[in-house]
């Protein structure tokens, strides 16, 4: 196979060809690509050109390169959402055509740390309710959720009856979540969470830390949600000011 009839840079042609091969099923999810020597020979390009193409494909989360092992095709995310829109996990799963569900792990009452007290300022809180759940899509575990909110804001005995904490807060307290301040972090291996979400050991997670507020700027809910990166992807619309 030769790519040199195209006037674009060769590494761009290589990227497009590998993407086409993945889309056409030549290389399947989690499959190891041929060695650099084999692939460069097949495509008719230098190994330096191939490495540049693979570097960009890894940045785009299409492949993962494991030093000394090889390059593997990543699963295509099932759910994609604009991070500038505040949607519940339930809504995101429903929009993808899947059935949302929840597996409840624990609820407990905790004394807030200094950091947590600051998060909920100016409201003074003495106790927090902590809820741990696993969110599912067609019974597949996809998100590990830790929610913390002031004790008494919602009836904890109703948590297992709904998939949406947002909805339960609104129904129980009349407070509607209007916006959130969000931080995104990549997360490496974590024994408990990886076992619960049935992740491969070398798979990464996306951690969204979110403080949720009402229209009156009242902080009502702090969430730490661990998303499987092979299932979820997030994007941001940025406009030039």
Q: What is the pLDDT of residues 171-227, one digit of tens each?
A: 999 999 999 999 988 887 788 999 999 887 777 788 999 999 999 999 999 999 999
Residue corresponding to tokens 């004790």: 151
Q: Give a yes or no: residue 163 inside a domain.
A: yes
Looking at the structure, tell me whether residues 202 and 97 fall in a common domain.
yes
**Gap between the Cα atoms of 226 and 185, Å rounded:** 9
Whether 6 has a pLDDT exceeding 70, the answer reads no
Within a 10 A sphere around the Cβ of 200, how many other Cβ atoms? 11
Give the CATH number for residue 198: 3.40.1410.10
pLDDT of residue 80: 66
- 200 and 128 share one domain: yes
**Position with higher pLDDT, 53 vs 236:** 53
Residues in the chain: 241
Q: Report the distance separating Cα 9 and Cα 49, nearest Å.
A: 9
Whole-number Å distance between alpha carbons of 56 and 31: 18
User: What number of helices (H) and strands (E) belong to the chain?
Assistant: 7, 10
Higher pLDDT, residue 144 or 68: 144
Does residue 138 share a domain with residue 66? no
Q: Which residue has the tokens 């004394």?
A: 111
Indicate whether 160 and 59 sit together in one domain: no
Query: Would you state the pLDDT for residue 66?
Result: 85
The answer to whether residues 52 and 158 belong to one domain is: no
Q: How much is the pLDDT for 83?
A: 64
- How many domains are contained in the chain? 2
DSSP for 194-213?
HHHHT--TT--EEEEEEEEE
Q: 48, 73, 98: which is the final residue of a domain? A: 73
Containing structural domain, residue 51:
10-73
**Residue 148 burial (CB count, 10 A):** 19
pLDDT score at 1: 53
Q: What percent of the chain has pLDDT over 90?
A: 50
Q: Are residues 93 and 62 in the same domain?
A: no
Identify the pLDDT of residue 7: 46
CB atoms within 10 A of CB 188: 10
Give Rg (Cα) of the chain.
22
Q: Of 73, 88, 106, which closes a domain?
A: 73
Alpha-carbon distances, residue 16 vs 13, 34, 42, 43, 136 (angstroms): 5, 17, 15, 12, 33
Judgement on whether residues 96 and 201 belong to the same structural domain of the protein: yes
Same domain, 193 and 158: yes
Kindly report, residue by residue over 16-60, the tens digit of the pLDDT: 999 999 988 898 888 899 999 999 999 999 999 999 999 999 888
pLDDT category of residue 169 using cuts at 50, 70 and 90? very high
- Check whether the bond before 122 is cis (ω within 30° of 0): yes
């Amino acid at each position: 196979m030769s790519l040199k009839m195209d006037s674009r840079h060769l590494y761009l042609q290589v990227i497009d060809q590998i993407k086409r091969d993945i889309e056409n099923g030549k290389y399947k999810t989690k499959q190891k690509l041929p060695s650099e020597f084999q692939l460069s020979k097949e495509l008719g390009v230098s190994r330096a050109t191939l490495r540049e193409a693979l570097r960009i494909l890894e940045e785009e989360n299409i492949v993962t390169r494991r030093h000394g092992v090889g390059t593997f095709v990543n699963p295509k995310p099932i759910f994609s959402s604009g991070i500038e829109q505040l949607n519940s996990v339930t809504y995101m799963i429903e929009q993808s055509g899947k059935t949302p569900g929840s597996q409840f792990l624990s609820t407990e009452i905790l004394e807030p740390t200094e950091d947590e007290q600051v998060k909920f300022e100016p409201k003074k809180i003495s106790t927090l309710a902590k809820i741990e759940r696993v969110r599912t899509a067609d019974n597949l575990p996809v998100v590990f959720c830790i929610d913390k909110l002031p004790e008494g804001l919602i009836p904890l005995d109703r948590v297992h009856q709904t998939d949406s904490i947002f909805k339960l807060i609104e129904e129980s307290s009349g407070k509607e979540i209007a916006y959130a301040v969000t931080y995104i972090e990549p997360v490496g291996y974590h024994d408990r969470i990886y076992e619960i979400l049935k992740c491969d050991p070398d798979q990464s997670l996306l951690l969204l830390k979110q403080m949720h507020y009402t229209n009156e700027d009242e902080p009502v809910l702090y969430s730490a949600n661990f998303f499987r990166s092979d299932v979820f992807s997030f994007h941001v619309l940025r406009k030039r000011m």
